[in-house]
Amino acid sequence: MSDNTNFKTLVGVIIQAELDDKPRHELLLELGETPAYILQHCPGFTALDLVLKARNLGKMVFDHGMKKGVIERLPDILAKPKALYKSASTHVKDASVIMTYETHNGFPIIIAIHPGKMIGRRAVNEVASMYFKEGPDPEEKWKSAGLLLWQA
């Protein structure tokens, strides 16, 4: 994963820019190489860099209520997942969902990732979203639906 100091700094810059009504949606935050557990267990993922668009970071904070401190720890959270699921959503082929050990008000934090996205002329794997899953814990439902790809 990337240097956490640089990542944390960029998270702060991007959030402040949105608060100042001067969003920096064109920025791309580098998370480093796609973790091996994703490459080994998720169909459609290849060894591309893992990135987060500034636009999506803004949505995490301002639409999904994710705390800055949690987002700043994203590289570490991605390095130690609880489980990996195939996405039940059909709008992105081969999308996967990471179940984290992190929680928000008792609800599990979920990270959606998409394989092989083109950003400009560059192919990357993308962290598309990070949110807390309100309601009943989805793990049993997802397991019984056959979506579990890997578990720690």
Cβ contact 29:57 at 8 Å: yes
Q: What residues does each domain of the chain span?
A: 4-151
Strands 96-104, 107-119: pairing is: antiparallel
Burial class (CB in 10 A: 0-12, 13-18, 19+), 30: middle
| Reported confidence tier of residue 74, pLDDT bands at 50, 70, 90 | very high
Q: What is the pLDDT of residues 76-102, one digit of tens each?
A: 999 999 999 999 876 778 899 999 999
Summarised one tens digit per residue, pLDDT across range 10-21 is 999 999 999 999
Which pLDDT score is estimated for 2? 46
Closest CA to 103 of 84, 82, 126: 82
Using 50, 70 and 90 to split pLDDT, how confident is the model at 46?
very high
Cα distance between residue 84 and residue 149, in whole Å: 5
20-40 confidence digits (pLDDT tens): 999 999 999 999 999 999 999
